[in-house]
Amino acid sequence: MYSVILVEDEDIIRRGIKNSVPWEEFNCSVVGEARNGEEGGALIAEQNPDIVITDINMPVEDGLQMIARTKCTYDYVAIILTGYSDFEYAREAIRNGVSYYVLKPLDMEEMKEALERAALELKNIGILRREMEDREKLKHSVLIPEPDSMGGMDPVASQILDFIARNYDQKIALADLEEELHYSERYLNQRFQKALGTTVIEYLNRYRIQKALAMLTDEGNAISDIGWKCGIGDYKYFSYVFKKYMGCSPKEYRSKII
């Protein structure tokens, strides 16, 4: 349900709006009332409402000043309720981020229309915010397990991590690590898995895809080349491995984050 704050210095008008508008029809609820912009600003900071309905001409601080002071911080939908029909007020209201303008004396149909449009705007804002949050989560995906911080890093696992970091773009097999570090493949895998909770090959695949994610944020990197750059190979196999970890193709990933 969308929260609404009413800011109006005339008690009769403010109470009349609160009691006569069928708020539930628009999935709204009045959570606070104020008599001027200063009180309204404090209430906005306290309640962080979805919708603010305010008069323009009020003592202490007017409605437009209140909106200009608070809207950037508290991203609500603003509806101006005023007896002024002068274009200059309307233009200033729009400049300050007012979405709708309802004139006094109050026309209930106008108010209902303004609330209906405000509710639709809030719904669209919610969808956009969720999409942006999902995009950010996807963009900052972390596939590489963190080393165990308890007691420091296992020295053998640390050597393996260093080898992968230096050679991930090349073909790597456990036999290469055996030759480099002079331990058996089984021993290397056991030490690594104990330290990081995954096998060397699984970590290597995740490391390569993590590098691919960074490359995909730059449209200058052709998707067909990224598989080779991160050591996986041709696009078909790269796409297969990428989808295994990310749930989508490299092309789909790029389209979602850019």
- In this prediction, residue 81 carries a pLDDT of 83
| Pair of tokens at residue 146 | 């963190």
**In the block, residue with structure tokens 């993590």:** 210
- In this prediction, residue 166 carries a pLDDT of 95
- In this prediction, residue 98 carries a pLDDT of 78
| Pair of tokens at residue 36 | 């001027």
Burial status of residue 37 (CB atoms within 10 A of its CB: 0-12, 13-18, 19 or more): buried
Task: State how far the Cα of 180 lies from the Cα of 47, in Å rounded to an integer.
Answer: 62
Run of H or E residues at 101: strand 98-103
Task: State how far the Cα of 54 lies from the Cα of 64, in Å rounded to an integer.
Answer: 9
CA angle 150, 156, 157 (to 5 degrees): 60
Domains of the chain in start order, with CATH, are: 2-118 (3.40.50.2300), 155-257 (1.10.10.60)
> Which stretches of the chain drop beneath a pLDDT of 50?
150
Task: Write the DSSP assignment of 98-138 as a string of letters.
Answer: EEEEEETTT-HHHHHHHHHHHHHHHHHHHHHHHHHHHHHHH
Nearest in space to 87 (alpha carbons), one of 101, 74, 97: 101
